[in-house]
Amino acid sequence: MNRITERFARLKKDGQKGFIVYIGAGDPNLEATRELALAFDQAGVDVLELGVPFSDPLADGLVNQLAAQRGLESGTTPVKVMETVAAIRKKSQIPIVFYIYFNLMHRHGLEKFINDAAKAGVDGFLTLDLPPEESDNYEALMAKAGLAVIYLVAPTTPDERIELIVKRGTGFIYYVSREGVTGMQQKVADTIGEMTAKIRAHTDLPIAVGFGISNPEQARTVAASAEAIVVGSAIVNQIAQHGKSSDLVPKVIEFTSSLIKATKR
């Protein structure tokens, strides 16, 4: 069974909420990414999203754009990210998702990229700029490789399109709780409960809510309406602050643990 599906099945059985972390791969370098992944697993993170650095990350706010830039500057390529996943797999079975822009896969060769990622130990892709309407070949190749196809639903997605998107997704549905790009927010959106109910009307897949969660109180609030929460920019910001420090990993884990605790109470 796919590790993502397996993890959500276990969470449901245990009556627990999932905690998903997003970080930019190669920020500040790929060895730090490997060490952080292993530490996240130990700390209780359920799924790790690795942003594969891209020069034009349109869906990302400033914090994650800068992380992508640092990743590119450290020499990170999609192939090197796969090698890092293979290194993580020697010690950890944490479910791993590639957060990626389609151009990177297209340039590598779509089928080869998917198969190479599966071989390395990746469990699913969240492809930011590939709509389901154009995804037939991609979905077929992903299914053949045993990888989850994770789609985004936004607050502005019309009901009939929600139905189309969620019927084609696997693993989990990522509900983007705000319009616009990624980034930390002062408060969470007040439409999360209403929107997750709309999504649930069309699917049994777990719903993960992200974009903007940056403190334990927000984590607790959002977890009440979803099967999982996603925290990205707030953790990436910690990496930016402590990236040059020898205690990068403990500092990031200390911050992340407070959010995990709030989510899983």
Residue of 60, 111, 190, 194 marked active site: 60
**Is 24 in contact with 51 (CB distance < 8 Å)?**
yes
Q: Give CA–CA dist 205/139, Å, rounded.
A: 17
Helices (H) and strands (E) in the chain, counts: 12, 9
Q: Give CA–CA dist 214/234, Å, rounded.
A: 5
Catalytic residue flag (residue 60): yes
Residue of 46, 49, 123, 227 marked active site: 49
* 3-state DSSP assignment of residue 173: strand
Cα angle: 32, vertex 22, 73; to 5 degrees: 50
How many CB atoms within 10 Å of residue 223?
A: 22
Catalytic residue flag (residue 49): yes
- Cα–Cα distances (Å) from 191 to 47, 175, 233, in that order, read 25, 11, 21
Residues annotated as catalytic are 49, 60
